[in-house]
Amino acid sequence: MNTCLTNNYSCSFYAFYYNVPMPELVNRIICGDCIEVLSKIEDPFADLIFADPPFNIGYKYDKYYDKVKSKNYIAWTKDWMTACKKVLKPDGSFYIAIGDDYAANVKIIGDELGLVMRNWIIWYYTFGQQTKSKFARSHTHIFYFVNDKKNFTFNDRAARVPSDRQLIYNDKRANPAGKMPDDVWTQFSRVCGTFKERASWHPCQMPESLLNRIISVSSNPGECVFDPFTGSGTTAAAAYQLNRNYCGTDISNDYVKNANKRLATLKKTSKQKTVNLFLNSHELAEIKRLASDMPIPTKEILADNKLTKIFTRQFSVRMNNGKKYTEQEIVTSLQEMIL
């Protein structure tokens, strides 16, 4: 069922497909069936894999039919998870987003493949599809697996947020580095039709903010993040902006072309990098990420000295570079951000 490879020779990077030398795949989005593409690769290359497959719920993709028999879908899930596991480095991490119907199957297949589950994350969102005859679905499961239960990357400082002890109770026992977020993620909105981020040519797009968290925590700059179901290119876009290498596949020629355009635009605009008097582009991106992870709106943080102090300290924790940031620098940058 690989349209790109059998009958569309204009597919980008088709030439690399057979006899794939790994460096040719880095920072590329390739049109093809992920299982076929991965079967040509000998050695593990991915430090982090993020997979958001079709959920078998009848979404309208251009080259994939999303309502197959349950037993075929489960067999296919096992095939692509096996193919991904083969290219995951021994110390690599593997995140899988999946709906209710097949979450249990993903967990069982993960166990069978020898993956170690570290978290079963629930991504809760508003703007779920409305229903009349049952409760509205407002979550997606995200499995966080690793290959080796002891040897993996987990940059906790990159995800820490201020605790209630710090924000509300002024409790001296609070860890000044903040706390790890819960495994129910509530602050990442779905990418709705009206959002600036929305790629109108793809039916379901993950928010970059959610990928930013996963990539910052489970990989390091310069490492390779692979997405077998690239879609609109969210994983690649987030990886690029966080100075990781990306690699992706998608069965649709049009999606691949558009995702490559998204990346090209990003690369062009990031050449005209936004900096301000105090912070470089990497620091500004981290300010934005922390502001979106905070349980309090930015305007309220700016209006309260105690909160700006906590925000500044949390920002230093996240940067983890020994540099001293003043509240004035952070406040100015936050103010510019919300203008």
Residues that bind ligand SAM (CB under 6 A): 33-34, 52-54, 61, 63-64, 202, 204-206, 228-229, 231-232, 234, 249-252, 255
Whole-angstrom distance, CA of residue 292 vs CA of residue 95: 21
Q: Compute the least distance from the CB of residue 175 to ligand SAM, in Å.
A: 33
- Amino acid type, 27: N
Encoded tokens for 263 = 């990346």
Structure tokens belonging to residue 52: 């958001």
> What letter represents residue 323's amino acid?
K
The CB-nearest residue to ligand SAM is 231
Please state the separation of Cα 210 from the chain's center in Å: 5
Report residue 71: phi and psi, to 5°: -65, -35
User: What's the length of the chain?
Assistant: 339
- Cβ proximity to ligand SAM: between 84 and 307 the closer is 84
Q: Whose Cβ is closer to ligand SAM: residue 3's or residue 153's? A: 3
Quick one: 105 or 276, whose CB is closer to ligand SAM?
A: 105
Closest approach, Cβ 114 to ligand SAM, in A, equals: 23
What is the smallest separation between the CB atom of 91 and ligand SAM, expressed in angstroms? 24
The DSSP line for 70-114 is HHHHHHHHHHHHHHHHHHEEEEEEEEEEE-HHHHHHHHHHHHHTT
- Minimal distance in Å, beta carbon 331 to ligand SAM? 33
Which runs of consecutive H residues, i.e. helices, occur in 3-69?
Answer: 3-7, 34-39
Q: Round to whole Å and give the CA distance between 338 and 288.
A: 10
- Please, which residue, 147 or 209, has the CB nearer to ligand SAM? 209
Residue 100: CB minimum distance to ligand SAM, A: 15
Q: Which is nearer to ligand SAM, 217 or 238 (CB)?
A: 238
| Nearer of residues 178 and 231 to ligand SAM, judged by Cβ | 231
Q: Is the Cβ–Cβ distance between 38 and 45 less than 8 Å?
A: no
Cβ-based nearer residue to ligand SAM, 92 or 228 = 228
Q: How many CB atoms lie within 10 A of CB 328?
A: 11
Q: How far is the CB of 10 from ligand SAM (least distance, A)?
A: 17
| Shortest Cβ 338–ligand SAM spacing (Å) | 26
- Structure letter (DSSP) for residue 14: G
